[in-house]
Chains A and B, each alone.
Chain A
Amino acid sequence: MANGLAGTTLRIDLRNGEIKRFPTDESLYRNWHGGRGIIAKILYDEVPRDADPLGEENILILNAGIMSGSFIPAGSKVSFGSISPLTNGHGDSNMGGHLGPMLKFAGYDMVIFEGISPHPVYLYIDNEKVELRDASKYWGMKSLECEARLKKDLGEDFEIATIGPAGENGVLFSCITHDFGRQAGRTGQGAVMGSKKLKAIAIRGNRSLHVHDLKGLRKQVKGIIERTKVHPNMEPWQKYGTSFFMRWSNDNAVLPAYNFRTTYYPDVDKIDGDQLVEKCLITHKACFGCWMNCGKYTKAVIPGKPEVHLEGPEYETGSTCGSNLGMKDINHVAYINWLVDELGMDSMSSGGVIAFAMECFERGLITEKDLEGHTLKWGSVDDVEHFLDMVVNKRGIGEWFAQGTKRAAEKIGRGSEKFAMQVKGQELSGYDGRWAPGMLLSYMTADIGAHHNRSWTITVDIAEGREKVEGRAKIVVYLQHIRPLFDTWCICRLFWGELDITHEELVESLNYITGWGVSVEETLRISEKIWNLNRCHYIERNRANGRFFDYPPARSWEDKIPDGPGKGKGLTKEQIEKMLDEYYDARGWDRQGNPTREVLEDLGIGYAADNLEKLGFLGKPIPGGIPPVRGEKYKPKAF
């Protein structure tokens, strides 16, 4: 097929090992563009609304999108998707590295796993040879250890994704790991993979990928590479990756510290990008086809502990597992990064869970007795290591925390919900939104729970006024359409914000690859359709008005930022309510946060309106009608 697709879709029934091959349905791609879009559609259509995310009826999808492996710079991504055990809604998470392109070079666009295997297996793909193989000798291995072993056993040229003990044991924020440090971290995809007894995926392929207009694509990509080589952001980006952002975040009062208690971390210089490069860097490491090489392959050296190798910590891990835990040495942050990577846990959620537990310990809500005689103090690597061992093995109170902060807070009670920093069950990424209202709104309304990649507005907040909430919602809606497009196409987003590559250019690339001739507006509408379908899916599964799920923890309005450049800043509950009202208005939803028939039919998913109506959660018609265009175009400066 000369359209960027490999041509074959695999459907694998883990219950009986049956492997079915289908020609890839191009119309599905034309309508949903791949990655998280196709995942959204398949999950909506196929998974019963009452299915247990860790049960037989959930499915796990691996989709390489339409642009992965296609020579477009950073066309490296692959999405995993399933109903999230953390949020109980549509879940998807993507990873860079080489797995997505390799899936296509082996001849496949997508793999859908159904059911639960009776014993541990891994998926082996070597071009046309597709097998489920016994994984009992790999079961129990840590993530990176298992990847190294599989490479040794199968060959260095296999690309491999694994889960660690966390995924095997059903820790709800488990990730899927690849390329010794790339993770599909969010929404607990590793827990779903573990529940299916699927330990790993190993892929090797040597086939060609054909695109609609290779000459045009080649010319465009070479032009982009030439132009951006001299972009002022290229050098710092290549040197530090996202880790240079630590100080910027601290200076701008968005860096989470001590479980999002403050946004000021005086020790930031001890864990920032300079420290990482100086003390830990082994080599720069890029994903497939990426000329920005933001990956930093590093070592962590702590006296009394083994020297360990890892990728990172990049900004998100540096903040959530660094300042947020009170870590004061980059080697300590790197070591914790390695720990969670090896155990197979999402580093962002892990940082959130550990920080929450640390605050509980500080407040006496959990004690040394609960922690098997250990403490859990800010800045202690040993305490973290022991605590994570309890979590991954679900010993004692470890079982509560293995379910994420939301469920742990429900067990602990006594007001801890206020500082369980999550939305819809997913822990916040590495930005505090109290003095960045658009960012807070982004977390509140993201379809997969609190995550920064759906919309990131901090430069918008700074430019438009950090104390002002009015008008922010429309920009958040726009960003929620454009940013997830990258996860739909399965390419990286970072060069869009950092190197001034435009949405228009990327749509041009898409057309060179596919020959579809789509417009920029059409891509935004497809993204909006995906967003609305996920919203309906969430409401259908969780059976309440959408607004009910959109609130952040009470710390977001009850506590002002206590110190630093943001001292005294914060939002009121009224401002948060107002942002939600504006947000629903901008989306054409009703004020209860429920999508309306008019919007859903406009997007071509009227069936979702029928389903909401049956359950009594269809949005009431908007007086005066819905906005003809939802969202307001805005180009942020970074990310």
Chain B
Amino acid sequence: MRIKVNRNKCTGCRLCLQICAIEHFQEINPKKAALRIEAKFPDPGRFRPYVCTQCGKCAEVCPEEAIQENENGAYIVDKEKCTNCGECVQACPVGVVFQHPDLDYVIICDFCMECIGVCNTSALVPWEKAPKTLTKEV
């Protein structure tokens, strides 16, 4: 299961960021989310959500082998093994591996799909038959 981004539909409300942090940390904090919204204003005037594409670059570069693909194709961070070195942050082609000063490990999307549940414009939708090779957002 992947997340398809209908990039012109995002309105920048950040409900997805909030629910993501609530689901994973039981805290309200958009900076602890595993996706991001880029806002480009005043010109051209648009929002762009960026979510994990399951490309696996983070796992490839991890020196600790702390990131493993699970049966759903999501890349799961082993919080014990992760040293927060930031190699994966640099390697991620869409900028969706995050560090936060409260945490000693990185945040990567585990595809819980909570973000999709609160998105009211279908900017984020489930993508069941996504091609495995795709590394860019749609």
Contact = CB atoms under 8 A, between A and B. Distances in A.
Contacts of A222: 117-118
B101 A206 contact: yes
Contacts of A144: 42
Contacts of A211: 28
Interface size class of B (residues with CB under 8 A): 20 to 34
Contacts of B47: 283, 285
A283 B39 CA distance: 11
B18 A309 contact: no
A309 B43 contact: yes
B29 A290 contact: no
Interface string A156-174: 1000000000000000000
Interface in A276-308: 282-293, 295, 297, 299
Interface in A218-253: 218, 222, 225, 229, 234, 238
Nearest to A290: B13
B32 to A, nearest CB: 7
A289 B13 contact: yes
Interface stretch (B19-27, B51-59, B63-71, B82-90): B19-27
Contacts, number: 99
Contacts of A100: none
A247 to B, nearest CB: 24
Interface string A192-232: 00000000000001111111001000100010010001000
A105 interface: yes
Given A71-B18, A206-B31, A282-B44, A293 B121 contact: yes
Interface in B1-41: 8, 11-15, 18-19, 21-22, 25-32, 38-39, 41
Contact of B46 (A71, A105, A214, A282): A282
B12 A209 contact: no
A156 B40 CA distance: 9
Interface residues of A, number: 42
Interface string A66-99: 0001110100000000000000000000000010
Nearest to B32: A208
Nearest to A292: B120
B102 to A, nearest CB: 8
Given A71-B22, A289-B18, A208 B11 contact: no
Contacts of B79: none
Most buried by B among A144, A229, A286: A286
Tell which of A222, A287, A297 has the most Cβ of chain B within 10 Å.
A297
A144 B45 CA distance: 13
Nearest to A151: B41
B100 interface: yes
A180 interface: yes
B50 to A, nearest CB: 13
Nearest to B9: A284
Contacts of A295: 11
A223 B94 CA distance: 32
A207 B8 contact: no
Contacts of A206: 29, 31-32, 100-101
A148 interface: yes
A286 B28 contact: no
Interface in A90-126: 98, 105
Contacts of B25: 208
Interface in B104-128: 117-118, 120-121
B118 A225 contact: yes
A206 B13 CA distance: 17
A291 B13 contact: yes
Contacts of B100: 206
Contact of B15 (A156, A234, A289): A289
Nearest to A145: B42
A207 B118 CA distance: 22
Contacts of A207: 29
A40 B8 CA distance: 42
A285 B12 contact: yes
Contact of A291 (B26, B44, B46, B118): B118
A297 B45 contact: yes
B103 to A, nearest CB: 11
B105 to A, nearest CB: 16
A206 B117 CA distance: 24
A309 B100 CA distance: 34
Contacts of A225: 15, 117-118, 120
A210 B27 contact: yes
Contacts of B12: 285-286
A234 B120 CA distance: 10
A105 B29 contact: yes
26 contacts: A71-B28, A73-B15, A144-B42, A156-B39, A180-B41, A180-B45, A206-B29, A207-B29, A208-B28, A208-B32, A210-B27, A211-B28, A218-B19, A222-B118, A225-B15, A225-B118, A229-B120, A282-B46, A284-B11, A287-B13, A288-B13, A288-B14, A290-B15, A293-B13, A293-B121, A309-B43
